[in-house]
Amino acid sequence: MTPLVTVIIPAYNHEDFVGEAIESVLSQSCKDFELLVVDDGSTDSTLDRIRTFDDPRISVIVQENRGAAEALNRALGEAKGSYISVLNSDDRYHADRLQVLSETLKNNPEVQLAVTGINVINGEGASEAASWLERGLDYYKKSGTVFFAVVRDNFICSTSNFFFRRELLEKTGTFSPLRYCHDLDFVLQASIHGEVSCLDEVLLDYRVHGTNTIKESQIDESGLFKFEVSSVIAFALGQKGIPLQKAPFFLDDILKTQIGSMLDVVGLMICFFKQAQFDRYQFLQLFIDAEHPLKIALLGFIREKDDKDKLPLKMYFEILEKYEEKVATISSVNQTLLEQEKRLIFFAEKITELNQYIYSSNDVIKSQNERIEAQNERIEAQNERIEAQGQKIDGLESWLNEIYNSRGWLWLTRYRQLSAYLRNFISSG
């Protein structure tokens, strides 16, 4: 029987928390669900803790460490539910979460993704204040726009807060291969392709502790976190058709929350994606390709910009000009390839038509050859009959000649002549 909801828990080295996460799912008031737990190559006792649970609704998937996005996508490939709900292995659901959110989507067909309020907890499970969450919620309530509020401060916070229709994936695709902000990318894509509903009711405990990925991002010296965030924001702005200077969240004291090189990198990335016509493939290649030249250049740009109070404007425009030329060249090559492809398709169609004509002609020729062959057989049979008739005639002629040359024929001829003479004499006498 197909479950109403598929709950996905991607788990990695959370031996102290994963048990609480699973228990929070099993204690839901909504019982119509399946639970897919993906152990992403944990090196502690996380997997052993997962296997202590004995419930027919639980399926455990074990894979080598590939990151949260890949773990989520692995489970999505096996999910059977009409709705998809995500819970990270260090967070907890409140008991009515699945019931409330499934009813929300059922009663609001225009909503593709639904989220709730969250309670921030520490490693011991106690609630703690979160100024960034309050700031993000406040901006959302003022603007009423999920898209801009999430970009300014991601008050939705985590993939643990995602509850969405399975068919949304047909529009957004699966989770992008990002280390720090695959959740931000998914929310922005969902808000572009459908409606996101934000419930005030607090139905999720979001845990902040020493091994959170977000903690890692705060000390990231490679620039990768800012590069990912900037790319996601720039790509989404391009899809929405909003130029950097007109994006309202940038005019609302964004430097208080997104400091340093972020604004410049977003501007550069918008130029890049504009040249690439905001192609999703180009977006993903930035993260898939470790040696992507634009990625390498911008990571260096971020590190240098953040190490100095000011970066020469000349360097900014040199990077921009370099990659605009590169993208323009790629676009020109792509256009040439497209034209060649069109010509190849044209010739292929003509060849197909010619082949069809040849096949048709071959059928006609074959039919004609069969008729000619049959006619030749009839002519050959006729010739054989004529030859046999000629032989008969030759034999008759020889026989007649023998008769004509015989003595009996001579006397018979004379007798006929005499009989004719007598008949004429009698009749005249």
Query: Which tens digits make up the pLDDT trace of 269-319?
Result: 877 787 777 788 888 888 888 888 888 888 888 887 776 644 444 554 555
Number of domain units in the chain:
1
> Is 307 in contact with 222 (CB distance < 8 Å)?
no
Domain membership flag for residue 324: no
Give the model's pLDDT for residue 8: 98
Give the model's pLDDT for residue 258: 43
For residue 298, the one-letter residue type is L
Give the model's pLDDT for residue 334: 67
Domain membership flag for residue 101: yes
Domain membership flag for residue 123: yes
Count CB-CB contacts under 10 A for residue 413: 11
Domain membership flag for residue 387: no
Domain membership flag for residue 405: no
Domain membership flag for residue 1: yes
Q: What residues pair up with 63 in beta bridges, in sequence order?
A: 40
Domain membership flag for residue 105: yes
In the chain, the N- to C-terminal Cα span, in Å, equals: 131
Residue 140 belongs to domain with CATH number = 3.90.550.10
DSSP labels, 135-170: HHHHHHHHH--HHHHHHHS-TT-SGGG-EEEGGGHH
Domain membership flag for residue 200: yes
pLDDT digits (tens, 9 = 90+) for 102-157: 999 999 999 999 999 999 999 898 998 888 888 888 888 887 888 888 887 888 98
pLDDT in single tens digits along all 429 residues of the chain: 899 999 999 999 999 999 999 999 999 999 999 999 999 999 999 999 999 999 999 999 999 999 999 999 999 999 999 999 999 999 999 999 999 999 999 999 999 999 999 999 998 989 988 888 888 888 888 878 888 888 878 889 899 999 999 999 999 999 999 988 899 999 999 999 989 999 999 999 999 887 665 544 444 567 788 888 888 988 888 888 776 555 544 444 444 444 456 777 777 787 778 777 778 888 888 888 888 888 888 888 888 777 664 444 455 455 556 655 665 666 676 677 778 778 878 777 877 887 787 777 777 788 888 888 888 888 888 888 888 887 877 777 777 777 667 766 677 777 777 777 777 777 775
**What does DSSP say about strands 5-11 and 92-93: parallel, antiparallel, or unpaired?**
unpaired
Q: CA 401, CA 314: separation in Å to the nearest integer?
A: 126
Range of the structural domain that residue 43 is part of: 1-208
